[in-house]
Amino acid sequence: MAIIRSENLSKVYPVADKEPGLVGTLRHFLRRKYRLVEAVQKVSFAIEPGEVVGFLGANGAGKTTTLKMLTGLIYPSGGSVEVAGFVPFRREAAFLSKITLVMGQKQQLIWDLPALDSLKVNAAVYGLSDRDYTERVGELSEMLALADKLTQPVRKLSLGERMKAELLAALLHRPAVLFLDEPTLGLDVNAQTAVRTFLKEYNERYGATVLLTSHYMADITALCKRVLLIHKGRLIYDGSLDGLLDRFAPYREVRAEFGRPYSEAELVGFGEVEMLARCEARFLVERDSLTRTVARLLAELQVVDLKVSDPPIDEVIGKVFSTGSVN
């Protein structure tokens, strides 16, 4: 049974429409005009318990609006949604204890106090016993390699350490569903890797369901086997990352290193040449003709090294967003 279910979920915002200039301002003051903006349009999907699902879309596509409806922060204009057996916008205490929302650009820890003080407040809010509080802080701080940082004021922590502390605070009540909106935003490579490793371990240890948005494709490829793609408020893809590559990138990337330089004219017929520099070249080759093309490369050219791979996933996703279609 799905732990997150959305059926034709929609959100429409009335936006004031004002003409420029003084005259426009006066008209707007006396008689306001509005236009309707469809931020989310009839989005439907279901997520099973324990799944880690990537939620992707360009800026303004409707990702955060959808997350806010799933967590009950805003009321949907249409459709229905259910999370962990609850209707989110009713904001029942039992529902709030089942979920958490982490936003990379927001913080809940008190800036001038040690993180431990904020954690004690969270424990009181969720009614945790002293024993549960101590055990969970110890376990999570060990998983996050944060035990020696919790007594420092939050403002003295590095950005990566603050993000870890935010995760600890958000997971203290051990929620069944995690909504993560850009959790690695602004972090350096090492901090991003640490957060990904923690989320993967947390999911495996507690079977938590995770819906993750991120502009870092490394987050998605490291954690998510399934992705949802939203474009201009509409869900345009729901499936596996591999399936997305098969449908939208019907080619493979072939990188070759040669024993001597070749001109572009000499490489005609081996695929679309994307890059040619001295003794190296990169081709795009149709999947159906890959085996035949590679055999010809090895037989007809002085190939020193050859590598075949899928095109970068962020490049594929970018093409999906630019066209708004996976067909």
At 51-78, the pLDDT tens digits run: 999 999 888 889 999 999 999 999 999 9
| Residues 87 and 225 reside in one and the same domain | yes
pLDDT over 90 percentage in the chain: 62
- 326 pLDDT exceeds 60? no
- Give the DSSP per-residue string, 164-215: HHHHHHHHTT--SEEEEESTTTT--HHHHHHHHHHHHHHHHHH--EEEEE-S
Choosing from 245, 273, 288, the residue where a domain stops is: 245
Name 289's Cβ contacts closer than 8 Å, sequence gap at least 6: none
Mean pLDDT score across all residues of the chain: 90
118 class by beta-carbon count within 10 Å (0-12 exposed, 13-18 middle, 19+ buried): buried
pLDDT attached to residue 251? 82
Residues 32 and 16: their CA atoms lie apart, in Å, by 7
- 226 pLDDT exceeds 80? yes
| Residues 231 and 123 reside in one and the same domain | yes
| Residues 52 and 200 reside in one and the same domain | yes
| Residues 143 and 288 reside in one and the same domain | no
Residues 181 and 215: their CA atoms lie apart, in Å, by 10
39 in any annotated domain? yes
Please give the tally of structural domains in the chain.
Answer: 2
pTM for this model (two decimals): 0.81
pLDDT attached to residue 257? 94
| Residues 136 and 231 reside in one and the same domain | yes
pLDDT attached to residue 189? 87
Among 10-14, 245-249, 269-273, top mean pLDDT goes to 10-14
pLDDT attached to residue 314? 72
314 in any annotated domain? no
CATH number for the domain including 161? Answer: 3.40.50.300
| Residues 299 and 213 reside in one and the same domain | no
pLDDT attached to residue 96? 94
pLDDT over 70 percentage in the chain: 98
| Residues 18 and 93 reside in one and the same domain | yes
pLDDT attached to residue 325? 58
| Residues 147 and 229 reside in one and the same domain | yes
Q: 169-195, pLDDT tens digit by residue? A: 999 999 999 999 988 888 888 888 999
| Residues 93 and 186 reside in one and the same domain | yes
- 320 pLDDT exceeds 80? no
pLDDT-based confidence at 323, cuts 50/70/90? low
324 in any annotated domain? no
Q: Please identify which residue in the block is written with the tokens 């051990």.
A: 174
| Residues 281 and 305 reside in one and the same domain | yes
Distances (CA, A) of 302 to 206, 259, 260, 293, 307: 53, 5, 7, 14, 14
41 in any annotated domain? yes
326 in any annotated domain? no
Mean pLDDT confidence for 97-114: 89
143 in any annotated domain? yes
CATH number for the domain including 296? Answer: 3.30.70
What are the φ and ψ backbone dihedral angles of 138, each rounded to 5 degrees?
A: -60, -45
Question: Strand, helix or coil at 296?
Answer: helix
85 in any annotated domain? yes
| Residues 73 and 20 reside in one and the same domain | yes
Neighbours of 16 (CB within 10 A): 9
User: Which amino acid, one-letter code, is at 64?
Assistant: T
Choosing from 245, 262, 281, the residue where a domain stops is: 245
Quote the domain boundaries for residue 266.
250-309
User: Which amino acid, one-letter code, is at 88?
Assistant: P
Name 181's Cβ contacts closer than 8 Å, sequence gap at least 6: 63, 64, 67, 101, 102, 103, 104, 213
Mean pLDDT confidence for 255-261: 93
Choosing from 245, 267, 289, the residue where a domain stops is: 245
